[in-house]
Structure 1
Amino acid sequence: MSDDLTSTTDDSAPANQERKLEANTAHPPNTLSQKALDRISEQMIERMWQLFPTWAIHTGYYDVADQLAVPDTDHRRKVRAFANSYLHELTKLNPAQMDDDARTDLSLIISFLNKLIWKQKTFKNYEWDPSIYNVSHGFETILNTEYAPLDERLRTFSKRLQKVPAYYAAAQQNIKTPAAPQLILAIQQNEGAMSTFDDELREKVAASGLSNAEKDQFNQSIDAAREAIEEYITFLQMLHAKLEKEDGFRDYRIGKKLYAQKYGYDIQSTLNPQQLYELALKEKGRLHDKMEELADKLWPKTFEGEEAPEDRLEKIRQILEKLSLNHATKENFKQKVEEQIPELAAFVSEHDLLSLDKEKPLRVRTTPPYMRGFSVASINAPGPYDKKANTYYNVMPIAEMEDDTAESLLREYNTYLMQVLNIHEAIPGHYTQLVYANESPSLIKSILGNGAMIEGWAVYAERMMLEAGYGDFQPELWMMYYKWHLRTVINTILDYSIQVKGMQEQEALDLMINQGFQQRAEAMGKWRRATLSQVQLTSYFAGYMDIMTLRADYKEKLGDKFDLKTFHEKFLSYGNAPVPVIRELMMAEVEPK
């Protein structure tokens, strides 16, 4: 989110009454402490949206959509004051007087507030990560989400637009010594941000019902915003040239201490970073064993009459390379993605794995320019305040790439892997999980989402679908699935090795290409991503392992009464809460009293 370090000055904006009622249904108050938590959390969320209006827009809360918080020193002071004041309030409550749902909400709130303080006082990425400053996300949502008539949204857009010059002026003041990958990404994505304020926007304004004075003001604000973004880009380009000459970039590796702290806030797993890393190393070996078994099975019909190499990794690689030749074209990749979505939905329904909401359509689109440079595919889902808004499945514009780069990516996301990708991103992965999250009765659990739960569910969904018979247990699909799952495992090894152990690029590429069987273009992209983020790449494996362990333990307790669909829907009913929190709630229901 572009303004996760920004705020406004008025903490007392009126709340939408309907939203207040919805937010207050998290748990029925039955004690003084629980009533107090309801009151505090409701008030905190309203103040939070004043501090973080772009985050509010992302959740579908549009009452603050006309605000753009300026990321200056005053804002950071307000964020600290906000966090400290609510932490003080929460210490007065007695968790023993709350039900399980309320206690877990309390723990999520405390963790969130402590993280806000940690980010400002310790992590300080506002000083070294220029890519966090990008205004496009909120503006694009306002423009493309029909939560109100267009003229009303344009007036909101125009008011917000007037803050853009101050926003980027503050961003320039904040940046001290940036890390090189983050600096390069900031230049790239802010260049993409210019497309948000282009002639197409001016045409919308011209054709609108705004008055001539409003249109003049709007166009002046567009000019000022574009100039501010261009100045920020120039500032970054000059800073890059200077630091490159002096070899003065900040190290993008955050080191063991900061890594452990960030992992604690972001992942919230039952395993610590070192334990997860060691488990991933073991899992890599296990997957190689599984892939060798399948390679032996597939070799005779894939390379008829040829002798298999003795080196097992080479044997696996050759099988994968052959299977990877079955892929879409540059021109129809996005179309193939679109065609598969209804097939996945039909399988889930026919096999009674989950109930799907047919009134929440998924729209496949080309990744907008301001979001490119990070991943091949991603989901943009509406938040709990605007559940009926469009969910977008963003697909990288492979058709625009050079032939050799496109061919490498197409082989990586071949016919088999495309299916697993779509399970992960769409059905029953991210898209399905986020639809369920918006229906959670706990607004706290939906808003304060845990990345390991969200990514872990998507990884779990891949395995669950194949176990249920998707693909008719085709060995080629399972072979590619193991390759894909190996990527999840290697993500953890890669992230920890780079950020904590100092792994260099060539060693990382060897891990991904020679041990993970990834195409070079994919590996290069992942190297870049691993230098841009920290801890996030571990969320897939951490969440997956916690979910698999929970399912096994839950099934053991229920025995013959265990039902997979019931387990899935119960698990997803808790919003985006960390898996250990969900585990506590689910196991409490089946544990003997």
Structure 2
Amino acid sequence: MPREAFAESVARFLDEEFAERPVLASSLGRMEAAGELDDLSQAAFEGRAARVARWLDRLAKIPAEGLDRDDQVDRDLLLAELRGRAVETEWQSWRRTPDGYVGLGLAGVFTLFLHRLLPERELAAAAAARLRQVPRVLDEARHNLDPELCSGLLVKRAMAQCQAAITFAREVVPAEVSEEALGANLAAAGEAAASAYEGFMPFLEDLAARAAGSPALGEERYSRLLLSKELLPWDARQLRDRGRRQVDLIADRLAEEVDGPWRERVERLREQRPTTPEEMLRAYEAAARRAREFITRYRLVTLPEDEECSVEPAPIFQRVILAVASYSQPAPFGPSRRGRFFVPWPPLGASPSEVAQRLRASSFHRIPTTSVHEAYPGHHVHLVSARENARPLRAVVGTSFFSEGWALYAEQMMADQGFYLERVDELIGQLEARRFRALRIVLDTSLHIGDMEFEEAVEILVREAGYPEPTARAEVLRYCAAPTQAVSYLTGCLQIEALKEKFLATGQGELRDYHDRLIRLGRGLPMPLAERCLQPAEE
């Protein structure tokens, strides 16, 4: 009976989730409400808070006894997710940050055309319907956002995103279809959305001028996310201490690898970079091919059949808010195994100086380890492999501590296997990238505890990571907008490295077996749950 009750609960939770979040649903390949945008009204957010409380109570009444190991893991995964949502509900980000309102229509339309899971006529109709709902979503933002709670920094970030949204809706979307009549309908819907974004800009300007809030989540809430959602044994300050130790440890390793002062060597390497975005794209493509050939030749992980990863410029609306590379997975419930590795393209209208600064973040010695992280065997290999897990909850619910942890683990594992052996500069790039992730732990925890101001964090990234100031600002704004995400990379990586040693020591298999089993556990289990899944069956 407990197993049947739990299976029914999971199915009901997912049905509610997809009904409540149609943009998420379509991005995952569930197209029942492809023409709808989420309800972001105050009443809807209050309903979501009640739903979180209701589901926490319901799951607590399903005892772990009587469930098999996979069901127990899924139960604990969902409980962890809901505890995290309870913290976010308490924080009321929907009253504090415009990002979710501005970005919803963008993501909702972009992912439709990215995955193309409907015939073109239906796809165009769904996209047009979503574009026509943008004014409603922005009206909800006007009602919900509270200048006493909003951070001026994050409001200004949303203003840049809003400007990109105007171009996306007006110029990019109509070109996504081949039929002239469909394009005309999309152009009309895009014009309605673009006009709504233009009308929203004065509201954001006024909101930025009056914003009196802080983006800092606060130490107690931050620690609760770590302990209750991510199931970590460290609170915010303990995690920051671990980050500081890692910064020093990795600096020592850099000193061992470099003949002479490592900072001077790294600074010289940062100046060796592509001169145009097109050259940058070609360099990333070549590095991704090389990484794929390496993991295949040395049998480091089993690649799913029909997988493909294309390397593309970042989407227009993403360029102003994300200054680093990213990955977009194929829809888990769709048929394709083609992922997209987006490289950090300059924003539209960027000056020659701004283009040069964006390219500086993609110096040649860093491109290989970034390609490992995003594509082979990092995010792409993980997420196309995770589709082989038949448990639907694990395709929907996951943590970046696993997914980003795996991608950073992949960087170090490839170094250990000799991927950078003949290219010392690339090994330096890998270590530099790892140290940057340790810096992220220090910065993210300090910002949200309230021990560091925004400008101080920017200065540290410019000085310690060598980022141009605009890139550093975009990076720190991301930390402000997404507490705990930045600490997930190295924290999860260290957990995966420790679990690997346990796996190999117990004779359960070789390195490839560990990789194959781990990445097929799902989109991203908290690491204690992943470890439970990999324990021998008799335990």
Report the TM-score when normalising by structure 2.
0.92
Unmatched tracts of structure 1, length 5 or more: 1-31, 300-314
C-alpha separation in 1, matches of 2:181 and 2:472: 49
Is contact 1:383–1:438 with CA below 8 Å preserved after alignment? no
2:431 to 474, 482, 493: 482
Aligned to 1:395: 343
CA distance in 1, matches of 2:347, 2:39: 37
Deviation at 1:460, TM superposition (A): 0.1
| 1:535 equivalent among 484, 487, 501 | 484
Deviations 1:100-153 (A, max 9, x none): 110010111222233334322x11000010111121111112234321211011
Stretch of structure 1 that moved more, 79-88 or 531-540: 79-88
Tell me the CA shift for residue 80 of structure 1. 3.1
Structure 1 pair 399/43, CA: closer, same or farther in 2 (3 Å)? closer
Give CA deviations for 1:30-50 in whole Å, capped at 9, x if unaligned. Answer: xx1111111111122112101
Say whether residues 1:445 and 2:388 are aligned partners. no
Aligned length in residues: 531
Task: List per-residue Cα deviations over 1:173-209 (Å, max 9, x = no partner).
Answer: 0000211121011111122112332255446679356
Structure 2 match to 1:233: 201
- CA shift for structure 1 position 513: 4.1
Structure 1 residue 80 corresponds to structure 2 residue 42: no
Change over 3 Å in CA distance of 1:100–1:471 after alignment to 2? same
Contact 2:170–2:187 (CA under 8 A) maintained in structure 1? no
In structure 2, distance between residues paired with 1:193 and 1:368: 11
Query: CA offsets, 1:344-363, max 9 Å, x none?
Result: 11100001001113512212
1:324 aligns with 2:293: no
Assess, with a 3 A threshold, how the Cα gap between structure 1 residues 71 and 482 changes in structure 2: closer, same or farther: same
Aligned twin of 1:381: 329
Structure 1 position 229, deviation (Å): 1.9
Matched-pair contact (CA < 8 Å) for 1:146–1:389: no
Post-superposition shift, 1:378? 0.5
Of 195, 198, 222, the residue aligned with 1:259 is: 222
The letter of the residue matching 1:565 is R
Contact 2:330 2:337 in 1 (8 A): yes
Alignment map for 1:187-336 (pairs within 5 Å): 187-199=159-171, 201-202=173-174, 207=179, 221-241=189-209, 243=210, 248-264=211-227, 267-295=230-258, 298-299=259-260, 315-331=261-277, 332-336=279-283
- Compared with structure 1, are the counterparts of its residues 292 and 87 closer, same or farther at alpha carbon in structure 2 (3 Å cutoff)? closer
Alignment match of 1:571 (pick from 509, 515, 518): 518
| Contact in 2 for aligned 1:181/1:532 (Cα 8 Å) | no
- C-alpha change, 1:374 and 1:444, in structure 2 (3 Å) is same
Tell whether the 8 Å contact from 2:344 to 2:358 is kept in structure 1 after alignment.
no
Q: Give how far 1:393 is off.
A: 1.5
Query: Does the residue aligned with 1:363 lie in a helix, a strand or coil?
Result: strand
Name the CA distance, whole Å, in 2 between partners of 1:82 and 1:485: 39
In 2, the alpha carbon distance for the partners of 1:532 and 1:40 equals 32
Distance change (3 Å), C-alpha of 1:509 and 1:182: closer
Q: Does residue 92 of structure 1 match 2:41?
A: no
Residue-by-residue CA offset, 1:197-237 (whole Å, 9 max, x unaligned): 22554466793566xxx966x66544432332222222111
- CA shift for structure 1 position 404: 4.0
Structure (1 or 2) with the larger CA radius of gyration: 1
CA, structure 1 residues 278+405, in 2 after alignment: closer, same or farther (shift >3 Å)?
A: same
**Structure 2 residue ranges without an equivalent (≥5):** none
1:422 CA drift (Å):
0.7
Identity %: 20
Q: How far apart in 1 are the matches of 2:480 and 2:45?
A: 26
- Residue identity in the other structure for 2:460: L
Q: Given the alignment of the two structures, is residue 416 of structure 1 paired with residue 359 of structure 2, yes or no?
A: no
AA at the equivalent of 2:326: S
TM superposition shift of 1:389: 5.9
- The CA deviation at 1:256 is 0.9
